[in-house]
Amino acid sequence: MAQSPDPRGPVRASWLALPPEPWKNGGGVTRTLAVDPAGRWRVSIADIDRDGPYSRFSGYDRVSVVLAGDGVMLQGEGVSVALRPREPAVFGGDALLQSTLVGGPVRVLNLFVLRGAATASVTCSGAAAQRAEVGSLLAGVDERAVTRLVVTAQDYQISRVANACTAATQNDFAVILDITVQESVPN
């Protein structure tokens, strides 16, 4: 079951133990790691085993990172996005896209951020660090609204304290997601 951020401290779990949920189009399965109860963001890992339609998420910006496999090409409606191993790719969820696998099945980490309601930065750590940001800067952000997830090859950590979760070592590959939601801040 997906985790919600725990204000008391980091939670570690194996995402491999999460039940896979089949896609409506039958093109793969997904495991939801974490979701904002208000629907402002969601983090999941998808296993894609064949070419086909890519899920549309109108109103959301997406960041995707290939965790396993050679990659995926997304094309449609004037949009072309290359999802490559260990590189965060940012794209809008509004377009109808077709996916073409590069060299076979892939496993992809996906972050969905509701435009205007949240921002996120995604960093791939390890030997060749990469970083991407999604969403516009938010005025009056409450630091308590930051959620951090660290996803590795087999497990993940989630915390409401931004620096509470870290990768095991500097050379271990991990995807670090820092998500900030727009909440009203008292003046």
pLDDT digits (tens, 9 = 90+) for 158-174: 776 555 455 544 446 77
pLDDT of residue 81: 95
Question: What is the sign of the dihedral through the CA atoms of 146, 65, 16 and 155?
Answer: negative
Is residue 27 scored above 60 in pLDDT? Answer: yes
pLDDT of residue 10: 64
Q: What are phi and psi of 145, to 5 degrees?
A: -85, 0
CA distances to 60, 128, 185 from 55, rounded to whole Å, are: 12, 29, 34
Give the mean model confidence (pLDDT) for residues 72-95.
92
Which band of pLDDT confidence, cut at 50, 70 and 90, is reported for residue 126? Answer: low
Mean residue pLDDT of the chain comes to 76
DSSP state of 56: P
Could you tell me the domains of the chain? 15-183 (2.60.120.10)
pLDDT of residue 120: 82
The region that residue 158 occupies, defined by phi over 0 for left and psi between -120 and 50 for alpha, beta otherwise, is beta
In sequence order, the β-bridge partners of residue 46 are 30, 108
